[in-house]
C-alpha cells in the first residue's frame, strides 16, 4: 500500500474553511470543490477502498497543524485536539503510521523539512498545499521524493477508485 504524507498547510486547510469539519469527510469518489478536505476524506475512507493509501504523521507535523489552526485560523483548542485525534485514528485505520519524528536537514524551515523528512524515512508521497513545497518540483532531493498538490492527488485517486469499481 502506498504511504502518503500531507503537509501541515493541507491538514489545517482541510478542516478550517468552506464548512469543513473534523467530524465528516468527503467519501471519494466523487471529488468536491475542497481538494484539501478530499485528501483527508481519501484517508478517512481508505479502509472502505481496500486500504489504497496509508497516512503517515508525526508529533512534529501535528504540532505544526495545531499551531496553524490555533494562531492562523483561530479554532478553539478542544476542536483542534479532537481533529488531531481524528487524524491519528485515520492514520492507524488507513494502514499508515504515527512515525517517530525523523531527523531533519536543517536546510529548510520546519514546515517544509518535516513532511519531506517523513516522506523520505517512510518511502511516501508528499501531498502539499504549501506553495513553497510545490515549488520544489515533482521529485525532490536525492531520494527523488514525489510531491503533488491536493487537487492532483484527489483527482488521481478518484479516477483509480472509479476504475476499480
The rounded distance, in Å, linking the Cα atoms of 139 and 5 is 14
Q: Which tops the pLDDT comparison, 40 or 102? A: 40
What are the Cα distances from residue 110, in Å, to 24, 28, 88?
29, 30, 20
Residue 22 has pLDDT above 70, yes or no: no
- Tell me the pLDDT band of 141, cut-offs 50, 70 and 90: confident
Given pLDDT bands bounded at 50, 70 and 90, which one contains residue 25?
confident
Tell me: domain 3-164, CATH 3.40.50.1010, correct? Answer: yes
The grid coordinates listed for 143 are: 531520494
Contact assessment for residue 5 and residue 60, using Cβ atoms and an 8 Å cutoff: no
CB within 8 Å of 87: residues ≥ 6 apart? 11, 40, 55, 57, 62, 65
Domain ranges of the chain: 3-164
Q: Where is 13: in which H helix or E strand?
A: helix 8-16
User: Could you read off the pLDDT of 92-139 as tens digits, one per residue?
Assistant: 999 999 999 988 778 889 999 999 999 999 988 999 999 999 998 888
Amino acid at each position: 500500500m502506498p504511504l502518503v504524507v500531507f503537509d501541515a498547510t493541507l491538514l489545517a486547510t482541510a478542516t478550517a474553511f468552506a464548512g469543513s469539519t473534523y467530524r465528516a469527510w468527503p467519501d471519494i469518489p466523487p471529488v468536491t470543490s475542497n481538494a484539501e478536505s478530499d485528501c483527508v476524506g481519501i484517508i478517512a475512507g481508505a479502509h472502505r477502498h481496500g486500504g489504497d493509501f496509508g497516512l503517515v504523521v508525526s508529533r512534529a507535523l501535528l504540532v505544526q497543524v495545531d499551531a496553524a489552526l490555533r494562531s492562523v485560523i483561530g479554532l478553539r483548542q478542544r476542536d483542534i485536539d479532537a481533529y488531531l485525534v481524528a487524524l491519528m485514528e485515520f492514520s492507524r485505520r488507513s494502514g499508515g503510521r504515527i512515525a517517530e519524528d525523523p531527523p531533519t536537514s536543517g536546510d529548510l524551515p520546519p514546515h517544509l523539512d518535516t513532511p519531506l523528512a517523513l516522506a523520505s524515512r517512510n518511502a511516501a508521497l508528499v501531498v502539499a498545499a504549501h506553495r513553497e513545497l510545490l515549488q520544489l518540483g515533482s521529485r525532490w532531493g536525492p531520494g527523488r521524493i514525489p510531491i503533488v498538490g491536493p487537487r492532483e492527488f484527489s483527482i488521481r485517486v478518484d479516477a483509480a477508485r472509479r476504475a476499480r469499481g
